[in-house]
Structure 1
Amino acid sequence: MGRKHIVWDWNGTLFHDIHAVVDATNQVFRPYGLDPLDADGFRAVYTRPIWVAYERLLGRPLREGEWEELDRTFHEHYHRLMDGCGLTDGALDVLEGWADSGRSQSLLSMWMHDRLTAKAGELGIDHHFVRIDGLRGGTPGGHKAEHMAAHVAAIGVDPRHVVVIGDSVDDAHAARHVGAQAILYTGGMTRRADLEASGFPVVDSLTEAIALADG
């Protein structure tokens, strides 16, 4: 599958924050009287757009204005809990190894851009990326496909030479949307069975992911 450029996902891929996401989600839905989720329970309902996952949890459509309030509350809790999170096992090694090979990589996330760039800098990995894009305006929790198209166009790399490494079916859809390949990682938000249904390769570590990208 040898490719020239990797587009990395952040949450659940390079940044191991599944427990912060689950705990923040439980905080959001505590007033609704829902039983707390564990990681597997969260993965069973997770999808994008995220408001659909919330509707699955509640068993009903969201009311007008409810999504905005739930999203605000989630991020209040998440931004506190994420301080206990760090890079995924092997992330630093694979980033450094790909950079040392002379090939390029970038970071695309649907997390807020300012927070994304600040966290990547705090963790000392921002210099590995030729471009970092988070969400600048727009509706949080939505699909990544159009953002992927803009990201790849800004980099100026032929999508046929791009591999997207992420943890969600939405990453697969975004890769397919631009004509790129994808490798999907099981350590994030999505069940293995759902990742496998995309038709793209599925791995259990970032070391495996980079080996496939390098193959």
Structure 2
Amino acid sequence: MQGYDLIIWDWNGTLLDDLWLALDVANRMLEHRGLPTMDQDRYREIFDFPVSEYYRRAGFDFDREPFESLADEFIAGYNARLRECRLHARVPRLLEAFEREGTAQSVLSASRQESLIDALAHYELTGYFGSIAGLADHFAVSKIDAGHRLLARSRPQHPVLVGDTVHDFEVADALGVDCILVGCGHHPMNRLRATGARVYESLDDLPLPM
């Protein structure tokens, strides 16, 4: 991680351990509709961006219910229990270490901006980040435009994006920045390795600054 002047962290699945909650809320929705539920392996294989494609793969029928209504239901169930989630174990130590080193840090998330700000405040992380970039809604289409705006504000020389999904790699590629992926979130290691990015099993393996 040495040599970077800005670390752009993804939020869900990367810093926040919310895989179990996303799966549980989705399974409750599927069960309510009489549809087959998913185990964690199935979820991680089909989860994707835009999330509307993941909803289709999970079995939801947009001819019966529009994606927007399903997304509203999911986010209501997710937000109601968000504070049951914990940060991944090494997060405070990592953020403190990079702050102490003088490396700038930001968050780039597919979460709605207001929800992201509230969540970071709840977990007492706001002060670590010079920029917090979410989306205007909770439909999680893409983070690329938000990433461009973040870079325009920050103007780093050598940034890196740290995330947990193939979309994080796609975002980094579109932004022209380096990418590191961690297998502790919403995509399995085989999907992450297929991108060709540098991949670690978890944040525990991410090198701390000297």
Q: Same fold (TM over 0.5)?
A: yes
Q: CA RMSD in A?
A: 1.8
Q: Does 1:196 align with 2:197?
A: no
Q: Does 1:151 align with 2:179?
A: no
Structure with the bigger percentage of helix: 1
Per-residue deviation at 1:170?
0.5
- Identify the residue that residue 82 of structure 2 maps to in structure 1: 82
Look up the SS of the partner of 2:12 in the other structure: coil
Distance 1:116 1:59, change over 3 A: closer
Does the CA-based 8 Å contact 1:27-1:74 persist in structure 2? no
Counterpart selection for 1:172 from 169, 172, 182 = 169
TM-score (norm 1): 0.91
Distance 2:200 2:27 in 1: 28
Look up the SS of the partner of 1:107 in the other structure: strand
Count of aligned positions: 209
Provide structure 1 residue ranges, at least 5 long, that are not aligned to the other structure: none
- Identify the residue that residue 135 of structure 2 maps to in structure 1: 135
Does the CA-based 8 Å contact 2:8-2:162 persist in structure 1? yes
Show CA shifts across 1:175-204 (max 9, x none).
Answer: 011110111011111111111111101112
Distance 1:162 1:63 in 2: 42
Distance 1:119 1:128 in 2: 14
Distance 1:59 1:73, change over 3 A: closer
Look up the SS of the partner of 1:56 in the other structure: helix
Does the CA-based 8 Å contact 1:165-1:209 persist in structure 2? no
Distance 1:88 1:101 in 2: 21
Look up the SS of the partner of 1:202 in the other structure: strand
- Identify the residue that residue 94 of structure 1 maps to in structure 2: 94
- The residue type paired with residue 34 of structure 1 is L
TM-score (norm 2): 0.93
Identity rate of aligned residues, in percent?
A: 28
Please list every run of at least 4 consecutive aligned residues from structure 1 whose deviation after the TM superposition is greater than 6 angstroms: none
Does the CA-based 8 Å contact 1:6-1:165 persist in structure 2? yes
Show CA shifts across 1:73-94 (max 9, x none).
Answer: 1011101222210111100000
- Identify the residue that residue 47 of structure 1 maps to in structure 2: 48
